[in-house]
Structure 1
Amino acid sequence: MKYSGIGGQAVIEGVMMKNRDEYATAVRKPDGTIEVKKDTYISMGEKVKLFSLPFFRGIFSFADSMILGMRSLTFSASFFEDDEEDLEPSKFEKLLERVFGEKMEKALMSMVMVFSVIMAICIFMVLPLFLANIFRHFIKSQTIMAILEGVIRIGIFIAYIKLVSRMEDIRRTFMYHGAEHKCINCLEHGLELNVENVRNSSKEHKRCGTSFLLIVMIISILFFMVIQVKTLPLRILSRIILIPVIAGVSYELLRIAGRSDSKLVDILSRPGMWMQGLTTSEPDDSMIEVGIASVEAVFDWREFLKKNFTENQS
C-alpha cells in the first residue's frame, strides 16, 4: 500500500474528496447525472504555522474537517430541496435573514456546527460520566470507573449509529462512505481507478474518521484513569477541557496507522476497522462512479500509479 494523501467523506447522494488544497464534491442528481463542484480550501495549519505542529494539527484538522464537511453537505443538499422552495419561510428564517442578510447561510452553518459540537460533548462525553456515576457507590476503584465510563461511551456511540442507520438517507450515505473508502483503497493498492477494481477493493480504511472516534474513546479511558478528580463538577470540567488533548493524541496515532503497513499497526488498527462496519456499506456501481468522479477532479491517479506502482502498469 502506498499513501496517496487524498481523503474524503460521504455526503447526501455523493462523495467529497480532498487533495492538498483542492477538494471536489460529486453528487448524483435526481435526474441521474453527476454534478461535480471543485474548489479550494486552505487549512488552518497552512494559515498558522503553530497549528501544523504535531498534537496541535490534530485539533485543527478536526475543525477543518467540520468546516469542509458542512460546505460539501450544503452543496449536496441543494439538489434535493426543490420541494421546500415553495414553502413560506419560517419566522426564524425571516429573523436570520434580517439579521445576517446575504451572510445568512454562513451564519446558519456556523450555528449548526456549534450546536453539533455541544450536543456531541453532552452525549458522548458528559452523559457517559453521569451514567457511570450511578455505580460509584458500588465501585470504589477509579481505574474501574474510568473503564466503565469508556465502555458506556462506546456503547452509546454504537447505539447512536445503529439508531440513525435505520433512516434510508443515512443508509445510502453509509454506502457512499463505502464508495469513498473503496476508491482510495483501489489507488493505494496500485490498481486502475475503474468500477470493477473499486468494487473489488475493501470498504474499510485505516484513516477513517470512525477509527479516529474509536481511538478517541480508548485514549479517553487511559487519560481518565490517570487524571482523577473527586467532585462531579470537576470531573465534568475535566472531560470538556481534555477533549482537545485527547483529539490531538488520537490524531497522531491515526496518522501513524494510516501511513504504516506494519503487522503491529495492522493489529492495533483492527478494532477501528471493525467499527467501520457500522458506518460503511457496500455501494452499488452508480455510487462508485460518483466516487471516481470526485477523485478524478482533484487527483491525477494515473501519475500516482506510474510513480509508485510502475511494475503494475502496462
Structure 2
Amino acid sequence: MSQSTQNIYGGQAVIEGVMFAGKHANVTAVRRKNNEIVYYEVPRTTKPWIQKLKKIPFVRGVVAILESSAKGSQHLNFSMESYAEDELDEAKDGEKPVKSAEKSGWSLSMIVGVAIAGILSFVAGKLIFTLVPALIEELLFEQAFENIIVHNLIEGIIKILFLLSYLYFISLTPIIKRLFQYHGAEHKVISAYEAGAELTVANVQKFTRLHYRCGSSFIVFSVLVGVIVYSFFHWDSLWERIYLRILLLPVVLGASYEALRFTNALRDLPVLRFLGYPGLWLQKLTTKEPTDEQVAVSIASFNRMLELDGQVANSQA
C-alpha cells in the first residue's frame, strides 16, 4: 500500500505502553505486570469550528498542538493509573482487558479536567524552555554586543544545551528510559505501516526508531524558527524581551508546525531531506531501541486503532 493511499497516523509513548490516534478513535495499549495488555479507547470527536481552524496554515499548528496535549494527557493518566495499581498490587482479579472512557470510571468532568491540565502543562513547559534561556542570555551577554541577531543565536544555543541536558538526565531514570523505548516502538510501527510491511514483531524491528513527523523534531524547529522570528523584533529591556517571547510564542509554534510538515513532505528527496536531520538527531535522545515485548504492545495498540477506525468507517458507508 502506498503512502498516498494511507491515512497519516501519529502516536505517543505512555508509561508501559503506546497511544495511537486514528481518524475516529484514540487507543492506548498498556502491558500490565501480569503480562496482560489492556486498552483505553476514546472516540475521536472534533468540534466543527476546531476542524475549520485546523485547515488554516500557521493557525492549525497551534490548534493541533493544544488538542494533542489535551487528549494525550488523558491516555498518559490512564497508563500512570495502571502502573500505580501494579506497583501497589491493587489490580483486581478478572479485570477486563478493555477499558473504554466509560468503563474506566472517568467522568466527563474528570476527562475535561485532565485535558485542561495537559494544555496548561504544555504551555507552562514551553514558557519555561522559552523564557529561561532568554533570561540567562540577557544576564551573561547583555553588554557584550548590540547585534540582536547574535543575541538570538546565543539564546538559541543556550536553549538547545538546556534541552539536551534536560533530556539526557531524565533519560538516566529507569521509567523514562522505558518510556523512550516505547517511543521508539511507536515510530517503528508507523514506519512499518507506511512502508506497507506486515505488522509482526520481526518485521517492525527492522525499521528505524527515528521518524520525521516526531514531536522531538518539532521541538528543534521551534528553537530554529524562534531565532528567525525574534530577529524581526527589537527590545530595549529584559521585561520587553520576555513580553515579546510570550506574545510571539503562538507565531513560533505555528511556523514550526508548518516547517515540520514541509520537511516531512521532502523527506524522500535526496537533496532536501537533510532539512529534517536536526529533529532526527534529537530523537537519538528521546527514543531508545525497544524490546520485542514493547514492540508487541505498540502493534496491539495500532491494530486495535485500525480495527475501531474500520468499524466506524463501515457503519458510515
TM-score (norm. length: structure 2): 0.84
C-alpha deviation, 1:216, in angstroms: 0.4
Residue 32 of structure 1 aligns with an amino acid whose one-letter code is N
Match of 2:265 in 1: 259
CA distance in 2, matches of 1:181, 1:16: 11
Whether 2:198 is the aligned partner of 1:192: answer yes
Match of 1:278 in 2: 285
The answer as to whether partners of 1:28 and 1:290 remain within 8 angstroms in 2 is: yes
Residue 293 of structure 1 aligns with an amino acid whose one-letter code is A
SS of residue paired to 1:220: helix
Match of 2:98 in 1: none
CA distance in 1, matches of 2:77, 2:67: 15
Consecutive unaligned residues of structure 2, counting only runs of 5 or more, are 91-105, 311-317
Question: Per-residue CA shift, 1:4-26, capped at 9, x if unaligned?
Answer: 41110100000001122321101
Question: Per-residue CA shift, 1:98-132, capped at 9, x if unaligned?
Answer: xxx96663465256435523531442111111110
> What aligned pairs does 1:117-156 form with structure 2 within 5 A after superposition?
117-134=122-139, 135-156=141-162
Whether 2:205 is the aligned partner of 1:205: answer no
Question: Per-residue CA shift, 1:67-115, capped at 9, x if unaligned?
Answer: 11101111111212235699xxxxxxxxxxxxxx966634652564355
Match of 1:24 in 2: 27
Consecutive unaligned residues of structure 1, counting only runs of 5 or more, are 87-100, 304-314
The answer as to whether partners of 1:195 and 1:289 remain within 8 angstroms in 2 is: yes
* Match 1:54 to one of 47, 53, 57: 57
- CA 1:70–1:163 in structure 2 vs 1: closer, same or farther (change >3 Å)? same
* Match 1:11 to one of 9, 14, 22: 14
CA distance in 2, matches of 1:102, 1:72: 14
The answer as to whether partners of 1:46 and 1:52 remain within 8 angstroms in 2 is: no
User: Segments of 4+ in structure 1 off by > 4 A?
Assistant: 83-86, 101-104
CA distance in 1, matches of 2:53, 2:210: 32
Match of 1:89 in 2: none
C-alpha deviation, 1:299, in angstroms: 2.2
The answer as to whether partners of 2:74 and 2:111 remain within 8 angstroms in 1 is: no
Match of 1:38 in 2: 41
Match of 1:2 in 2: 3
TM-score (norm. length: structure 1): 0.85
More helix by share: 1
The answer as to whether partners of 1:44 and 1:51 remain within 8 angstroms in 2 is: no
The answer as to whether partners of 1:45 and 1:57 remain within 8 angstroms in 2 is: no
* Match 1:291 to one of 286, 298, 307: 298
Match of 2:103 in 1: none
The answer as to whether partners of 1:9 and 1:17 remain within 8 angstroms in 2 is: yes
Residue 129 of structure 1 aligns with an amino acid whose one-letter code is A
CA distance in 1, matches of 2:119, 2:191: 33
Whether 2:82 is the aligned partner of 1:79: answer yes
CA distance in 2, matches of 1:45, 1:195: 38
Match of 1:91 in 2: none
CA distance in 1, matches of 2:209, 2:231: 34
C-alpha deviation, 1:49, in angstroms: 1.3
CA distance in 1, matches of 2:285, 2:218: 14
SS of residue paired to 2:231: helix
CA distance in 1, matches of 2:163, 2:171: 12
C-alpha deviation, 1:191, in angstroms: 1.4
SS of residue paired to 1:166: coil
Whether 2:268 is the aligned partner of 1:225: answer no
Deviates more, 1:24-33 or 1:102-111: 102-111
- CA 1:129–1:284 in structure 2 vs 1: closer, same or farther (change >3 Å)? same
Match of 1:311 in 2: none
C-alpha deviation, 1:193, in angstroms: 0.9
CA distance in 1, matches of 2:89, 2:118: 23
Match of 2:276 in 1: 269
- CA 1:250–1:122 in structure 2 vs 1: closer, same or farther (change >3 Å)? closer
- CA 1:104–1:47 in structure 2 vs 1: closer, same or farther (change >3 Å)? closer
C-alpha deviation, 1:44, in angstroms: 5.5
